[in-house]
Structure 1
Amino acid sequence: MDDIQDSTQTSTLAALEAEKDQLLTLLKALPDISFVFDEEGLYVKVIGGANETMYVSGQSLVGHYLHDALPAPLADHCLELVRTAIESGELQTVEYCLRTADVALLPDDARTGARGTTEQWFEGRVLPLPTYDHSNRVALWVAVNITPRKQLEHYWREVAHTDPLTGQANRQRLFARAHQEVERAHRHQHPLSLLEIDFDYFKRLNDQYGHAAGDEALRRITQACEGILRESDLMARTGGEEFAILLPETDHDGALDLSRRLLDIVREVRLPDFAPEIRLTISIGSATLLTGESFDGLMRRADEALYEAKANGRDRVHSDR
């Protein structure tokens, strides 16, 4: 009877060992890289990563711990997922961003240069390996490089929030950013201003010189304006010839100063291929956020100021006070 049991156990162990070998062989053949972690975060084995354009060899990680290799917040999260997969017996998934330069134990030549500093996105798939021969319980972490997908997603987000003619933000992006900035301005009691801009006599330009001239005017004027804005400012096309500029950390006087500079720079814009004699101008309405005011209220007051600027002769700025 004991011989039968021993034979059965031997057969079972042999089958499990064969299954593990098959799994490791399969992983080695895949382009993606995989890691075997134990429940203490030890790199037990590094497998695969045959696609050298997407992965750097991780063999130097074997025998070290997650916290030796990765930034602490990411190492903490990875170890938590490994332990959850081991305890629950269920697949865990996560998306994370990592630069080769951030992995401390990789070779120096891999961590430097453009490749080392470029952000890479990965999808981690973590599942337990209950039959793996190791002193602690282990899990398999398959890291799939999803950077191309993330880049495509970013591209389409940009397209969805960008005006195709001028390359500036569109109305949807303005409103999303504006509500964030209003909330931040109220929370920290910081100033926030908004400029509403209308291109003077735009319809007359279109009627006299054609829509191609009008399109070129829009592009040239917005490029000129963008050239004197800060990175934190946001210019958006809100209508046909209407634009808005959101100005974080900008009070009433700062908004007026920028408005005057915008008026000056637009007066220098020319359309040599369409109407060399045309002198382009804009009208600006400026408003600064009041205590407890919503973005709708700020925008309404900037619109009213713009109306006053146009009513008083155009090519000027009118403020909310």
Structure 2
Amino acid sequence: MDETPRSDQTTLIEQLKAERDQLLGLLRALPDISFVIDEDGLYVRVIGGTNEAMYVSGKPLEGSTLQDALPESIANHFLGVVREALRTGEMQFLEYELGVEDVTALPPEIREKAADPSKQYFEGRILPLPSYDHPKPVVLWVAVNITPRKQLEQYWRQAAETDPLTGIANRRALFQKAHEEVERARRYGHPLSLLILDIDHFKSINSRFGHARGDEALRRFTRTCAELLRTNDRLGRIGGEEFVILLPETDLVGATRLGHRIVEAIASVEIDETSPVFTTTVSVGAATLEHGEGFEATLHRADQALSRAKANGRNRLETDGPHPTE
């Protein structure tokens, strides 16, 4: 019998073992943590994780399973990824969020040592690990910590959607939310109203008291409005001194009631960081989404009501159409 094929096979296995040992040796020195996990979800080995600012010791996980260590839904999902890597023989990629408190198989004294107990973001790279000394097929799960990248993405996303002066939604974010709420109102047949607000004579505030105090007036205005809103309401700045409030699940009566409260509240807010103390007032227009129309049409009707509020003396609310009974 020709022994060459068997010899070649032995050589290949030895090469694979050598490559495996080199890989595992390298992983031990890396800041990110890696796991050898078998097809049943058993943690066969925990490697690396030398960055103590990101990780606690994962060694106690060895001998436990994904089901032992993690919430059921997460464990089942991870096990599915492990088995898919073994089935296809190809590397799998998975982004996920996980915190030390989620890993219940870790002893309490180890979880308490976590430098950062909050959830962190990882990119899992899961690949079959052939010729590993274990009775069942295993994968190598490299958990690359991508929390800084995710935090940066979140920062820029928030910056793109937030008015930098007041911290509320900017025009772009407000309009996007408005279109979502219009679709939801149509789908479920629920009311949707909005208020458009304009701080009275704001340009004269800037010219008389300076832009710094004008900025403070804008911040005080938004804080006062926000204190009167429900969790699902959305306040956004759409212009220099112009704002919109989206009011889901609210008819014109409810919108009018809130608008009057805002008019009264704003008139009592004093801007008193420097002398002299001054107050501002606001004009408000209210409208409710009508059947078949879009957000822009409702906003236009509210803007017309706002124009009437200004024409009728400011520091007041007007509605689109007959004034509803409060």
Fold shared by both chains (TM-score > 0.5):
yes
Q: Aligned pair 1:242/2:238, yes or no?
A: no
**Structure 1 residues 99 and 188, CA, compared in 2 at 3 Å: closer, same or farther?**
farther
Does the Cα contact within 8 Å between 1:270 and 1:276 map onto a contact in 2? no
The question of 1:92 aligning with 2:92 is answered yes
SS in 1 for 2:279: coil
Matched residue SS, 2:81? helix
Matches within 5 A, 1:244-283: 244-273=244-273, 276=276, 278-283=278-283
Partner of 2:309: 309
How many angstroms apart in 2 are the aligned matches of 1:87 and 1:121?
26
Which residue pairs with 2:182 in the alignment? 182
Q: Distance in 2 between matches of 1:131 and 1:189?
A: 61
2:109 counterpart residue number: 109
- Give the TM-score of the pair, scaled to structure 1: 0.90
Query: How far does residue 266 in structure 1 lie from its aligned partner after superposition?
Result: 0.9
Within 5 Å, which residues of 2 pair with 1:4-43? 11-43=11-43
* 1:57 Cα deviation from its structure 2 partner: 1.9
Query: CA 1:242–1:4 in structure 2 vs 1: closer, same or farther (change >3 Å)?
Result: closer
Cα distance in 1 for residues equivalent to 2:292 and 2:143 = 47
8 Å contact 1:182–1:294 — kept in the other structure?
A: yes
One-letter amino acid of the structure 1 residue matched with residue 236 of structure 2: A
Determine if contact 1:200/1:314 at 8 Å carries over to the other structure.
Answer: yes
Identify if the C-alpha distance between structure 1 residues 199 and 27 changes in structure 2 by more than 3 Å, giving closer, same or farther.
same
Structure 1 distance, partners of 2:138, 2:190, is 51
Task: Single out whichever of 224-233 and 197-206 deviates more from structure 2.
Answer: 224-233
Over 3 Å counting, the alpha-carbon distance change for 1:114 and 1:218 in structure 2 is farther
Residue type of the partner of 1:106? L
Q: Distance in 2 between matches of 1:70 and 1:245?
A: 42
> Do residues 163 (structure 1) and 163 (structure 2) align?
yes
Q: What is the alpha-carbon distance in structure 2 between the residues aligned to residue 42 and residue 260 of structure 1?
A: 63
Contact 2:16/2:130 (<8 A) preserved: no
- Distance in 1 (alpha carbons) for counterparts of 2:83 and 2:255: 54
Counterpart position of 2:172? 172
Cross-structure match for 2:56: 56
Structure 1: distance between partners of 2:147 and 2:136: 33
1:71 alignment counterpart: 71
| Matched position secondary structure for 1:310 | helix
The alpha carbon displacement at 1:15 in A equals 3.5
Post-superposition offset of 1:110: 4.2
1:4 Cα shift?
A: 7.3
Label 1:3 to 1:206 Cα distance change in 2 as closer, same or farther (>3 A): closer
**Which ranges in structure 2 are unaligned for 5 or more consecutive residues?**
322-326
User: How far apart are the structure 2 equivalents of 1:296 and 1:280?
Assistant: 28
For 1:161, the aligned partner's letter is E
The equivalent of 1:120 in structure 2 is: 120
Residue 324 of structure 2 corresponds to which residue in structure 1?
none
**CA spacing shift, 1:297–1:140, aligned 2, 3 Å:** same
CA deviation vs aligned residue, 1:198-242 (integer Å, no higher than 9, x gap)? 011112222333333322221221222222223322211101111
Quote how far apart the aligned CAs of 1:29 are: 0.7
Decide whether the 8 Å contact of 1:110 with 1:116 is kept in 2: no
CA–CA separation in structure 2 for the residues paired with 1:51 and 1:204: 56
Amino acid across the alignment from 2:250:
T
Question: What TM-score comes out, normalization by structure 2 length?
Answer: 0.89
Give the match for residue 131 of structure 2.
Answer: 131
Relative to 1, partners in 2 of residues 1:129 and 1:114: Cα closer, same or farther, differing over 3 Å? closer
Q: Distance in 1 between matches of 2:112 and 2:224?
A: 37
Letter paired with 1:196: I
Unaligned runs of 5+ in 1: none
Structural RMSD (CA): 2.4
Residues 8 and 279 of structure 1, relative CA distance in 2, 3 Å threshold: closer
